[in-house]
Amino acid sequence: MTAIKGTSGRGQRELRVRVKTAKGRKLSSTLWLERQLNDPYVIQAKKDGYRGRAAYKILELDDRYGFLKPGCRVVDLGCAPGGWTQVAVGRVNALGDNPKKPVGTVLGIDLQEVEAIPGAELHQLDFLSDDADELVKGWLGGRADVVMSDMAAAASGHKGTDHLRIVALIEAALAFAFDVLEEGGTFVAKVLAGGAENEMQVMLKKNFKKVANVKPPASRADSSEKFVVAQGFRGRSVAVVDEAGE
C-alpha cells in the first residue's frame, strides 16, 4: 500500500522550514511556498522521482481499486507535468520491466508540450478537437482500458464559477471516455465537491457498473477536490448515453 509518513511522533523532533516574506512577494505566495517545503508528499515525490505530489493520489486510488493492471492501455488527459503518467507506466508494465507480465501502453495528452517520460507516448493535443478520439485510438492501436484525468479549469477566484467550470471539463472528459473506452474499462477523474455535478453522477451510474467518489489521503484536507472512480464501462449503448444527455 502507498503511505507517506510524517516527521512528527514520540521521540522525534519535527523540523519545519520557515520562509520569510521577501520584498515584493505577497504573503499568500510565502505561505504557499512554506506549505510546499513542508508537505511530506512533496518531499517524498522528490525522493521517488515523481514530477509532483499528485502522483500519490493516483497511487492511492489504484491501491484501493486496482484499475492499472499490467498490459492495460491507458490515456492520461491533461497529463502535464506527468506524475500520473509516471505512475501508470510503472503499474501497467509499460517498460516491460517484469518479463513475466504483459506490457501495457500509456498515452499522455496535453495542450502543452510535456517533457519526455520513459515508457509513455506523449502528444500535444486538444482532446476536445473533433478528431481527437480517432487519433487516440490510432495511437493506442485500439480502445483504452483506462481513461484518467487530473485536469482542473483555470481558477477565477469565485468558488461557484470554478466549480461549474471543472464540472463542464469533467463532463467533456467523460464524453471523450465514452468514445475511446473498451467495454469493462475504467474512468478516473478529479472533481470538486459542490452540488452541481448531480447530472454527471447520473450519467456515470448509467454507463458504469460501479461508481465511487473518494478523497485519497494525498488530497489536502483543505481542498474541495475529490475523485470519481467509475469501473465496468457498459459500452456505447446509444440508449444509455442518450438518456444521459449526450
Catalytic residues: 190
The C-alpha atoms of residue 97 and residue 90 are separated, in whole angstroms, by: 8
Cα distances from 134 to residues 127, 137, 182, in angstroms, run 10, 5, 14
Kindly tell me the sign of the dihedral angle through the C-alpha atoms of 39, 50, 5, 64: positive
Q: Hey, which residues does 109 pair with through a beta bridge?
A: 77, 123
Pairing between β-strand 144-149 and β-strand 73-77 as defined by DSSP bridges: parallel
The candidate with the shortest Cα–Cα distance to 199, out of 244, 149, 153, is: 244
Lookup: cell for 164: 461549474
Task: Mark the binding-site residues, compressed into ranges.
Answer: 82, 84, 110, 126, 150
Per 3-state DSSP, the chain is made up of helix, strand and coil in percentages (nearest 5) of 35, 20, 45
The C-alpha atoms of residue 4 and residue 229 are separated, in whole angstroms, by: 22
Task: Mark the binding-site residues for S-adenosyl-L-methionine, compressed into ranges.
Answer: 82, 84, 110, 126, 150
In the DSSP assignment, the letter for residue 187 is: E
Q: Hey, which residues does 66 pair with through a beta bridge?
A: none
